[in-house]
Chains A and B, each alone.
Chain A
């Protein structure tokens, strides 16, 4: 033995292990220790991640890093650790209970091919809470919650992760003398690795089912569950694949500002609330944003609050805008001073507010939607002869609004509409077309 060679990764001062006499957990822990000895890893580069279940006590007995958490969630912490530091050897010790409650994480870790090693301490039942059935309990087995014999099919953990992308998958028992070498191989595998290690729970499963090692192996065979290495292939490990895929993003400007330099002015004297109501998919929000940007270019302060249903391109879309000369983050809480209503969806949503508009308010509305009940002054917008697409109608109507009210200069609106070069031409054409809407 050379100086510095480790003969164990267990903290011998804390032994013996806390498991029941004959429990397979003790054997697996010893095998894991033997695997670590074989690999001679720096213990500071090893993280044992555990969760709830008797196997979750094991991390306390190792002189490595340890992260112990909630039932079935060990795979999530392991994933986060590996993502943040791909150089670490991250080993999850999970029970069959954990693979049930954390099945979603197991499946996705395999699918993602994150480079963690999952050792399943599979004793076919819940040992810590009193011998209840788990997702791996064989059919017919008696447990605290299946007293007449289990009616469900057990989860084939290896097949499940195997067909979903895991690159190293094996099944064996805690009594397999080759287990240390197998665990070492799993730890050395670059991507996601899982070993389903069957064992005996002497406190419950053995007692309830007169179970033994021969029956354990027989059950595997009866179920047609293969043993040994069942899947083995290489694929890009996720934490490195992520870094490789996004390397060219590095150093790109982070959230570059989109400055708006005021160089127009507005005659507005008091905060003005403008509601623009229309249909989802008709670029109501985009038009409202351009309108607000035009206001900012005119020295005004704008807020734009949106209302929309959970659907995406159906139903209404409403933007409530407040323009003011002060920067008080005014958000609309009073009835609109100006309202623009387009499309049947906009009218349907806003009939109530339209009916309650005051006589001082102005309603610009697609003439085709008239008549409506309102005290406001109605300004019909004539879209009947336009050849503009409906996605531009909101911009058109806002151009008409500016022409009608003089809230701020049209030139500022045009400048805002041209801010995104790809849309400039279409937007400017819409604004010009909008100026013909007032009859």
Chain B
């Protein structure tokens, strides 16, 4: 069966199929269609969807609801992420599963509401105090919008953490023909709840990278949740051993599971001299450019990164192996290029193809920049 739908609709379907039961959001172009879908659809499955008084409240509602048993979801754009910042921190610190969509628009500030961009890529990673890691997935097309939204819900449960879907105006609002059979349903794990009979320690973990089982407010256990530095029982602490353990845990539970989170599509050609790298809306032109260059006899590999954070370092290093240079295509002035530069060897050149004029990067731009045209 074929349909003609946009990314926002695919994201909403993905969320509903992932078992989402709660949505709170605030209208903002170009993320509003997701709010409207959820307001219309969630009551049909007995869920709650609400327009909050502002973005701070929207994410605050989600965090409260998540800990009272909901699978919580919100969507905004860059200026909304700015307002989400303190509650992103709470979700990290109190270990609250939540899925946050950023339909990127041009920044900085109010920027261009109806103009596409990928300018939030570093902001999402470093958007709250403390510098602790988050998970960010980037869909490349309408199918990905569906699949990666479900994956985001799954990872939020797995790691009790905020998980972002970094899309953009043109991935979210472009309608495309889809073959419904190819909407790949991703199994979303059940919430790991503490044994109702057993003793319950709200933040008790054995190993630093373990994720503590969760108990719901109103459930069988008394639950303590806090945005402040806490010991494993959820009580305020300033004791150095407790602080060290807490903060290393928050980093380790994500960073030590890079490989489990990593989602990359590597199309490597033996003997390739050039590696083309893209994500989100630049994935397709990267793949097209690789095909076109090969048709001309060039040796070119292509890498599409779908899990931007944590950086899938092993997969990127593997793709870089043997090439002379990497070309990174993105709708910003080189935000993810920094990560590639960090992973490249000194003798490998990293070239950026960047656009910040609101128009899209085409395969021809990548070929021209790489002297492959």
Residues of A within 8 A of B (CB): 43-45, 47, 49, 57, 59-60, 63-70, 73, 75-85, 87-88, 104-105, 107-108, 242, 246, 249-255, 257-262, 289, 292-293, 295-296, 300-310, 327-334
Q: What is the CB-to-nearest-CB distance from B118 to chain A, in angstroms, rounded to a whole number?
A: 14
Contact A260 B180 (CB under 8 A): no
The answer to whether A250 and B46 touch (CB under 8 A), given A70-B86, A84-B22, A329-B176, is yes
B64 contacts chain A at the CB level, 8 A cutoff: yes
Query: Given the complex, which residues of B lie within 8 Å of A69, measured CB to CB?
Result: 60, 63, 87, 90, 94, 226-227
The answer to whether A79 and B57 touch (CB under 8 A), given A66-B223, A301-B177, A329-B142, is yes
Question: What are 9 of the A-B contact pairs (CB < 8 Å)?
Answer: A84-B68, A104-B54, A104-B57, A105-B53, A242-B48, A255-B12, A259-B3, A293-B4, A333-B360
Contact B50 A83 (CB under 8 A): yes
The CB with the most chain A CB atoms within 10 A, among B37, B227, B284, is that of B227
The answer to whether A289 and B175 touch (CB under 8 A), given A83-B61, A104-B54, is yes
Stretch of B157-165, B213-221, B247-255 lying at the A interface: B213-221
Contact A254 B224 (CB under 8 A): no
- With A and B bound together, what is the CA distance between A286 and B24 in angstroms? 29
Contact B226 A66 (CB under 8 A): yes
B364 contacts chain A at the CB level, 8 A cutoff: yes
Stretch of B130-138, B228-236, B268-276, B315-323 lying at the A interface: B228-236
- The B135-176 residues at the A interface (CB cut-off 8 A) are 140-142, 170, 173-176
Query: Given the complex, which residues of A lie within 8 Å of B66, measured CB to CB?
Result: 80, 84
Contact A44 B218 (CB under 8 A): yes
Query: Given the complex, which residues of A lie within 8 Å of B52, measured CB to CB?
Result: 76
Contact A303 B65 (CB under 8 A): no
Contact B43 A64 (CB under 8 A): no
**1/0 per residue B4-15: CB within 8 Å of A?**
110001001100
B190 contacts chain A at the CB level, 8 A cutoff: no
Query: Given the complex, which residues of B lie within 8 Å of A88, measured CB to CB?
Result: 68, 217-218
Chain A minimum-CB-distance residue to B1: A259
- With A and B bound together, what is the CA distance between A85 and B9 in angstroms? 28
B261 contacts chain A at the CB level, 8 A cutoff: no
B103 contacts chain A at the CB level, 8 A cutoff: no
B326 contacts chain A at the CB level, 8 A cutoff: no
The answer to whether A43 and B60 touch (CB under 8 A), given A67-B217, A73-B86, A303-B175, is no
> With A80-B72, A104-B57, A250-B46 given, can you name 19 additional A-B contacts, CB distance below 8 Å?
A47-B217, A76-B56, A76-B64, A77-B63, A79-B57, A80-B66, A84-B48, A84-B69, A85-B69, A108-B53, A242-B48, A254-B44, A257-B3, A258-B3, A260-B1, A302-B4, A303-B174, A303-B175, A310-B29
Residues of B within 8 A of A (CB): 1-5, 9, 12-13, 16, 21-22, 24, 29, 37, 41, 43-46, 48, 50, 52-54, 56-57, 59-70, 72, 86-87, 89-90, 94, 113-114, 140-142, 170, 173-177, 179-180, 217-228, 234-236, 281, 284-285, 288, 359-365
Chain B minimum-CB-distance residue to A285: B175
Query: Given the complex, which residues of B lie within 8 Å of A104, measured CB to CB?
Result: 53-54, 57
The answer to whether A334 and B362 touch (CB under 8 A), given A81-B67, A303-B174, is yes
The CB with the most chain B CB atoms within 10 A, among A47, A82, A83, A310, is that of A83
Query: Given the complex, which residues of A lie within 8 Å of B4, measured CB to CB?
Result: 258, 260, 289, 292-293, 296, 302, 304
Query: Given the complex, which residues of A lie within 8 Å of B16, measured CB to CB?
Result: 254-255
- What are the 9 tightest A-B residue pairs by CB atom distance, in nearest-first order? A76-B60, A80-B64, A333-B362, A77-B64, A84-B68, A80-B61, A246-B43, A80-B65, A84-B65
Q: What is the CB-to-nearest-CB distance from A425 to chain B, in angstroms, rounded to a whole number?
A: 22
Chain A minimum-CB-distance residue to B202: A66
Contact B48 A252 (CB under 8 A): no
The answer to whether A249 and B175 touch (CB under 8 A), given A76-B61, A79-B64, A307-B114, is no
- With A and B bound together, what is the CA distance between A123 and B226 in angstroms? 24
Query: Given the complex, which residues of A lie within 8 Å of B235, measured CB to CB?
Result: 60
- With A and B bound together, what is the CA distance between A81 and B48 in angstroms? 12
Chain B minimum-CB-distance residue to A107: B53
The answer to whether A83 and B2 touch (CB under 8 A), given A47-B217, A73-B87, A333-B285, is no
- With A and B bound together, what is the CA distance between A75 and B174 in angstroms? 37
The answer to whether A79 and B61 touch (CB under 8 A), given A73-B86, A255-B12, is yes
Q: Which listed residue (A85, A105, A261) contacts B217, Cβ 8 A?
A: A85
Contact A73 B60 (CB under 8 A): yes
The CB with the most chain B CB atoms within 10 A, among A59, A252, A254, is that of A254
Q: What is the CB-to-nearest-CB distance from B338 to chain A, in angstroms, rounded to a whole number?
A: 25
The CB with the most chain A CB atoms within 10 A, among B13, B56, B359, is that of B56
Query: Given the complex, which residues of A lie within 8 Å of B363, measured CB to CB?
Result: 333
Contact A80 B224 (CB under 8 A): no
Contact B45 A328 (CB under 8 A): no
Q: What is the CB-to-nearest-CB distance from A427 to chain B, in angstroms, rounded to a whole number?
A: 16
Query: Given the complex, which residues of B lie within 8 Å of A75, measured CB to CB?
Result: 60
- With A and B bound together, what is the CA distance between A259 and B4 in angstroms? 8
Contact B41 A255 (CB under 8 A): yes
Q: What is the CB-to-nearest-CB distance from A192 to chain B, in angstroms, rounded to a whole number?
A: 14
Query: Given the complex, which residues of A lie within 8 Å of B141, measured CB to CB?
Result: 329
Q: What is the CB-to-nearest-CB distance from B186 to chain A, in angstroms, rounded to a whole number?
A: 17
Contact B65 A81 (CB under 8 A): yes
Query: Given the complex, which residues of B lie within 8 Å of A81, measured CB to CB?
Result: 64-65, 67-68, 217
Contact B220 A329 (CB under 8 A): no
Contact A68 B226 (CB under 8 A): yes
Query: Given the complex, which residues of A lie within 8 Å of B114, measured CB to CB?
Result: 307-310
- With A and B bound together, what is the CA distance between A43 and B221 in angstroms? 10
Contact B225 A333 (CB under 8 A): no
The CB with the most chain A CB atoms within 10 A, among B56, B61, B226, is that of B61
Query: Given the complex, which residues of A lie within 8 Å of B90, measured CB to CB?
Result: 69-70
Q: Which listed residue (A67, A293, A334) contacts B67, Cβ 8 A?
A: A67
Query: Given the complex, which residues of A lie within 8 Å of B68, measured CB to CB?
Result: 47, 80-81, 84-85, 88
Contact A80 B173 (CB under 8 A): no
- With A and B bound together, what is the CA distance between A77 and B198 in angstroms? 27
Q: Which listed residue (A64, A76, A254, A295) contacts B45, Cβ 8 A?
A: A254
Q: What is the CB-to-nearest-CB distance from A240 to chain B, in angstroms, rounded to a whole number?
A: 12
Contact A68 B228 (CB under 8 A): yes
Chain B minimum-CB-distance residue to A334: B362
- With A and B bound together, what is the CA distance between A63 and B87 in angstroms? 25
Contact A261 B1 (CB under 8 A): yes
Query: Given the complex, which residues of A lie within 8 Å of B281, measured CB to CB?
Result: 331
Contact A83 B22 (CB under 8 A): yes
Q: What is the CB-to-nearest-CB distance from A334 to chain B, in angstroms, rounded to a whole number?
A: 6
Query: Given the complex, which residues of A lie within 8 Å of B223, measured CB to CB?
Result: 65-66
Q: Which listed residue (A67, A300, A305, A327) contacts B174, Cβ 8 A?
A: A305
